């Protein structure tokens, strides 16, 4: 069954009136929101209940909508011009969106995608465009390769000239400093020879010191066995050493 027609008049029952107010208020705010979204309109709704409560809805802000409303009341002519300008801008936006969609479709077709709905002539035209574009790409690639090859040749010639100048400088330096016949030992050879001499000298010195120490030790042991004081031993040892040195000197003279 269809819904019956309701007489539009004040509801006498307070409870029924409050329930109807809540339902109709929610429906009105919902419709206002849908109108603003679907039609891109600026909508504002202000509701006061019989008890003084405020209910409102605004798609772009209540203060902005009220200020715009007041401007429209004060000067209606500029508002019309503004509305016409907005309509013109919206038309331009729609045209630009259509052009962007067409360009995106062409790009997909050039990539080999979204070819549905194209006739044989259109496909042949697309193939011809792709071949022409491929030839242009190949020519540009060859041009870049030739430029790189020419740059590498120029660098090679510069390197050859630099090498030639360096060779001439080396020959001039050799002419100023002639080569010597005897060879100079390197640092490693000189260092190894120096170490060998130091080892030989240290070995002879260490053997002499060991002999002297052993002799002194033996003499000190004999003094201890004889019970002689160390001072007397030193005095006795001194003339013996001098006589020994004199004898050795005379022997060297006789020889």
Give the pLDDT confidence of 230-251 residue by residue, as tens digits.
554 455 555 544 444 444 444 4
- The radius of gyration of the chain's CA atoms, rounded to the nearest angstrom, is 59
Of 42, 34, 38, the C-alpha closest to 58 is: 42
Of 94, 115, 95, the C-alpha closest to 106 is: 115
pLDDT classification of 189: cutoffs 50, 70, 90: low
Q: Which of 78-92, 123-137, 210-224 has the highest mean pLDDT?
A: 123-137
In 111-186, alpha helices (H): 120-176
Cα–Cα distance measured from residue 59 to residue 37, given in angstroms and rounded to the nearest whole number: 8
Q: Determine whether 107 is exposed, middle or buried from the number of CB atoms within 10 Å of its CB (0-12, 13-18, 19+).
A: exposed
3-state helix, strand, coil split of the chain in percent (to 5) is 75, 5, 20
Cα–Cα distance measured from residue 117 to residue 99, given in angstroms and rounded to the nearest whole number: 19
Residues pairing with 48 in the sheet:
54
**pLDDT the model gives residue 214:** 46
**pLDDT the model gives residue 142:** 93
pLDDT classification of 56: cutoffs 50, 70, 90: very high
Cα–Cα distance measured from residue 245 to residue 171, given in angstroms and rounded to the nearest whole number: 66
Cα–Cα distance measured from residue 21 to residue 80, given in angstroms and rounded to the nearest whole number: 36
Rounded to two decimals, the pTM is 0.32
Residue 44: CB atoms within 10 Å: 19
State which H helix or E strand residue 47 sits in.
strand 44-48
**Could you tell me if residue 185 is left (phi over 0), alpha (psi between -120 and 50 degrees) or otherwise beta?**
beta
pLDDT classification of 197: cutoffs 50, 70, 90: low
Residue 59 has pLDDT above 70, yes or no: yes
CB 225 within 8 A of CB 233: no
Q: Which of 5-19, 104-118, 141-155 has the highest mean pLDDT?
A: 141-155
State both tokens at 163.
Answer: 């090498």
**pLDDT the model gives residue 201:** 52
**pLDDT the model gives residue 192:** 58
The whole-chain average pLDDT of the chain stands at 75
Give the residue with greater pLDDT, 21 vs 83: 21
Cα–Cα distance measured from residue 26 to residue 55, given in angstroms and rounded to the nearest whole number: 10
CB 220 within 8 A of CB 236: no
Q: Token match 């109709």: residue?
A: 24
The model's pLDDT over 151-187, given as tens digits with 9 standing for 90+, comes to 999 999 999 999 999 999 998 888 877 655 445 455 4
């Amino acid at each position: 069954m269809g819904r019956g027609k309701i007489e539009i008049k004040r509801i006498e029952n307070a409870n029924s009136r409050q329930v109807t107010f809540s339902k109709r208020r929610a429906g009105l705010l919902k419709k206002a929101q849908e109108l603003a979204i679907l039609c891109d309109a600026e909508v504002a709704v202000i509701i006061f209940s019989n008890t003084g409560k405020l209910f409102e809805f605004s798609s772009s802000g209540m203060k902005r909508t009220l200020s715009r409303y007041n401007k429209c009341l004060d000067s209606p002519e500029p508002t019309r011009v503004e509305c016409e300008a907005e309509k013109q801008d919206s038309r331009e936006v729609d045209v630009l969106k259509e052009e962007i969609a067409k360009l995106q479709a062409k790009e997909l077709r050039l990539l080999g995608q979204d070819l549905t709905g194209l006739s044989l002539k259109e496909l042949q035209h697309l193939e011809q465009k792709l071949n022409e574009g491929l030839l242009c790409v190949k020519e540009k690639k060859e041009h870049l390769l030739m430029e790189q090859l020419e740059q590498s040749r120029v660098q090679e010639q510069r390197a050859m000239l630099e090498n030639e100048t360096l060779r001439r400088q080396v020959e001039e330096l050799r002419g100023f400093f002639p080569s010597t016949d005897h060879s100079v030992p390197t640092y490693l050879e000189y260092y190894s020879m120096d170490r060998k001499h130091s080892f030989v000298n240290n070995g002879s010195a260490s053997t002499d010191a060991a002999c002297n120490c052993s002799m002194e030790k033996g003499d000190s042991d004999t003094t201890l066995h004889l019970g002689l004081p160390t001072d007397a031993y030193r005095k006795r040892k001194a003339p013996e050493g001098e006589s020994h040195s004199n004898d050795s000197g005379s022997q060297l003279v006789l020889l």
